[in-house]
A and B are shown apart, each in its own frame.
Chain A
Amino acid sequence: MNGRVSLLGIRDWGLGADARGATQMMVTRIGDGVYRVEHDGGVDVVYVAGPPDDCWAFADGDVYRNARDRMRGLPAARVDATQALRAPMPATVLKVMVAPGAAVTAGETLVILEAMKMELPLRAAGDAVVSAVRCREGELVQPDAVLVELKFEDLRI
């Protein structure tokens, strides 16, 4: 983690109709414009290019363009993306640094957990607004428990 670590471990994006809460996805940037997505259905490589407000994607021979695809019967995808930060392991919530409605910036620490006598900060993956805090200081949380929900208002999908 010598400063070459990038953020794109993203999971639990609330994504439109398919979100169903249970959908867990892990996106890793593996090259310039190349993303590996682990999800329930397996692993896919997706190519993405273009500015955030008009990006194009290619997966398995099909092309998607967000501006166009958004208009096509996917009301939920107009959503601002939400991200649930979850507990990675059994831990105690040591400190909650934010309250609902707070604007946070990428890299800002949201919650500090304590597990096995070590502090584990959970940070924001991008600039976002805290939509909910689902844990209390001193609470013992189990793996995958949702701790904080973030809303990325400018992260149109």
Chain B
Amino acid sequence: MLTAEDAEDETGNALGVLGSAGSVIRRLLIANRGEIAVRIIRACRELGIESVAVYSEPDARAMHVSAADRAVPIGPSAAADSYLSSRRIIDAARSTLADAVHPGYGFLAQNASFAAACDREGLIFVGPNARTIADMGSKIESRRIMQQAGVPVVAGDTPVDQTDEGISAAIDRVGLPALVKASAGGGGKGMRTVRERSEVAAEVPAARREALAAFGDGTLYVERLIERPRHVEVQVFGDRHGSVVHLFERECSTQRRHQKVIEESPSPSISPHLRAAVTDAAVRAARAVSYQSAGTVEFLVAPADGDDTRPPFYFLEMNTRLQVEHGVSEVVTGVDLVRAQLLVASGEQVPWRQETLTQRGHAIEARIYAEDPASGFLPQAGRLLLYREPRMPGVRVDSGVAEGDEVSIHYDPLLAKVIAGAETRDLAMARLASALRAFPVLGVRTNIPFLLRVIEHSAFRAGMVDTGFLDREGATLLEEPGPAPAFVAAAMAAHSAHERNSTHRAGTHSRVRDDPWDGS
């Protein structure tokens, strides 16, 4: 543990993050847990910034707590009373005299009032300003801003005339196939797909009834349905001096119920022409809101349909934070996004120029979740009896757990991210597969076997995956291995024998082996 004085002596201004206006981040509170907290703490260490972790009761011995220079308890297991409690986080920052807060992703990362509260307390919020967070958090407002900035949005309409005829006319305006949605809605309730003109008469009243029942508001919104879309997003980065750059795209179409599973860059599905168009649009979007720090502009890319009058991609939303998959862009461009966030939060300029940023080779990431694909991807809890991360050239593992740790059900089941980088997509996929085959996690079920089957699937290998792929192919990818093959059973038997007889150390004739790991 460093004291404040030590930190000053060791880091001083030479290593501390000096802002142009003299604002220096010397002590950063990380308002998060797990792998992202560990990732941010590492960046702090590199920059000579003192790190302050916060933790809930079940996390008292978590990796992010031991990795940080100091750690503050912030409450019980329930996120609402700990990691999501704006007040407790700010109290922790004040009591440790932190001068900045990094929210990571999830929890308070896209909470505009938290960002505003940090401002009021004189804490640097490592991220965009509260206004940007609020604007981009609103579906209607973000859509309006993007349209104004010339970023294509999916055709949509909330007609003033809410009669069947009015909705029908709106469907004509956006074109078929269309989605009729509850304006107040979410979660698929009050949502109907209309593919044919003849379906309008039945589907519109049905959507209205559902909307009324679910939300007490029958107002309908009509949107053009993009079938079999791809999810392509662009990493952007801006500073308070007006610079905005992009760090190319990430392909994130391999999703399970809107949860990303595998991400890669470059996208195997877009042409150089389309890449230029989406990255331009993303930079326009970021400029439109004077974006500061790391952000992501998400697009839906429509399959080619020969209709040149429609743009092939549409603004989906902007994530005003560092993303889980930021490492993919780091590996492919060779930059450190968290370090850049800390620099920019201190008032410095974006540390790269657009011309110097390139995609070198290919990067691909798999998210390792504590979940059981065989039982509906149910999150799993338990002790990590054995947990050995792969170590091999070109493979980066970001994680927040270690062997022996208890995985709790209180939080996101993400254990680790494995990111492979190589010269080509084929090589990167092969490298990721070998890394996953060398990543034993025992004691808690994970999605590693599932991920391997995804990577080996012909559609994935061909780069032909749309966002519905995993949900459609689910059954075939869930296939469980049969009973343990004999060689595995033999190892289990040997292990059992070892556990039972570890005090005996008896040998069988010529097959006795020396065991250099055996300390007894």
- Chain A residues with a Cβ under 8 A of chain B: 1, 3-11, 13, 15-19, 23, 25-33, 35, 37, 39, 41, 44, 46-52, 55-64, 66, 69-70, 72-74, 77, 81, 85, 88-89, 105-108, 120-127, 152, 154-157
Mark the stretch among B38-46, B242-250, B496-504 that contacts chain A: B496-504
Chain B, range 480-495, C-beta contacts under 8 Å to A: 481-495
- Whether the pair A123, B485 counts as a contact (CB closer than 8 A) is no
- Whether the pair A27, B508 counts as a contact (CB closer than 8 A) is no
- Whether the pair B500, A127 counts as a contact (CB closer than 8 A) is yes
Chain B, range 424-469, C-beta contacts under 8 Å to A: 433, 436-437, 440-443, 445-446, 448-449, 452
- Whether the pair B492, A7 counts as a contact (CB closer than 8 A) is no
User: 1/0 per residue B253-279: CB within 8 Å of A?
Assistant: 000000000000000000000000000
Task: With a 10 A CB-CB cut-off, give which of B441, B481, B487 has the most chain A CB atoms.
Answer: B487
Count A-B contacts at CB 8 Å.
236
- Whether the pair B491, A57 counts as a contact (CB closer than 8 A) is yes
Q: Contacts A4-B514, A10-B508, A47-B442; is A64 near B498 (CB within 8 Å)?
A: no
- Whether the pair B493, A15 counts as a contact (CB closer than 8 A) is yes
- Whether the pair B487, A9 counts as a contact (CB closer than 8 A) is no
- Whether the pair B484, A69 counts as a contact (CB closer than 8 A) is yes
Report 14 cross-chain contacts, Cβ distance below 8 Å, ordered by A residue. Answer: A5-B514, A6-B505, A6-B515, A10-B508, A15-B486, A51-B499, A57-B442, A62-B481, A64-B484, A64-B488, A66-B492, A85-B509, A155-B497, A157-B496
- Whether the pair B509, A122 counts as a contact (CB closer than 8 A) is yes
CA distance A120 to B515 in the complex (A): 22
- Is B198 in contact with chain A by the CB < 8 A criterion? no
User: 1/0 per residue B126-168: CB within 8 Å of A?
Assistant: 0000000000000000000000000000000000000000000
Question: How far is the CB of A1 from the nearest CB of chain B, in Å?
Answer: 7
Q: Contacts A25-B486, A69-B483, A106-B506; is A13 near B493 (CB within 8 Å)?
A: yes
- Is B202 in contact with chain A by the CB < 8 A criterion? no
Question: How far is the CB of A72 from the nearest CB of chain B, in Å?
Answer: 6
User: 1/0 per residue B213-232: CB within 8 Å of A?
Assistant: 00000000000000000000
Which 3 pairs across A and B sit closest by C-beta, in order of nearness?
A9-B511, A107-B506, A18-B486
B448 contact set on A, CB distance < 8 A: 61, 63
- Is B386 in contact with chain A by the CB < 8 A criterion? yes
A16 contact set on B, CB distance < 8 A: 483, 486, 489
Residue of B nearest to A86 (CB): B509
- Chain B residues with a Cβ under 8 A of chain A: 385-386, 388, 433, 436-437, 440-443, 445-446, 448-449, 452, 481-501, 504-515, 517-518, 520
Residue of B nearest to A111 (CB): B509
Q: Contacts A37-B490, A107-B504, A157-B492; is A57 near B484 (CB within 8 Å)?
A: yes
Q: Contacts A62-B481, A85-B508; is A10 near B501 (CB within 8 Å)?
A: no
Residue of B nearest to A43 (CB): B487
- Whether the pair B492, A88 counts as a contact (CB closer than 8 A) is no
B512 contact set on A, CB distance < 8 A: 1, 5, 7, 9
Question: How far is the CB of B327 from the nearest CB of chain A, in Å?
Answer: 21
Q: A4-B520, A16-B489, A61-B448 are in contact. List 11 more A-B contacts (CB 8 A).
A: A7-B501, A13-B490, A28-B513, A32-B517, A50-B443, A62-B481, A63-B449, A107-B505, A155-B493, A155-B500, A156-B496
- Whether the pair B490, A15 counts as a contact (CB closer than 8 A) is yes
Residue of A nearest to B490 (CB): A25
B506 contact set on A, CB distance < 8 A: 7, 106-108, 123-126
CA distance A7 to B34 in the complex (A): 40
Q: Contacts A8-B497, A62-B449; is A56 near B514 (CB within 8 Å)?
A: no
Residue of B nearest to A60 (CB): B437
A63 contact set on B, CB distance < 8 A: 441-442, 445-446, 448-449, 481
Q: Contacts A5-B513, A8-B513, A32-B517; is A55 near B495 (CB within 8 Å)?
A: yes
Q: Contacts A4-B518, A4-B520, A74-B483; is A9 near B507 (CB within 8 Å)?
A: yes
Question: How far is the CB of B491 from the nearest CB of chain A, in Å?
Answer: 4
Question: How far is the CB of B89 from the nearest CB of chain A, in Å?
Answer: 36
- Whether the pair A72, B482 counts as a contact (CB closer than 8 A) is yes
- Whether the pair B508, A125 counts as a contact (CB closer than 8 A) is yes
- Whether the pair A10, B488 counts as a contact (CB closer than 8 A) is no
Question: How far is the CB of A44 from the nearest CB of chain B, in Å?
Answer: 5
A48 contact set on B, CB distance < 8 A: 386, 442, 491-492, 494-495
- Whether the pair B492, A64 counts as a contact (CB closer than 8 A) is yes
B449 contact set on A, CB distance < 8 A: 61-63
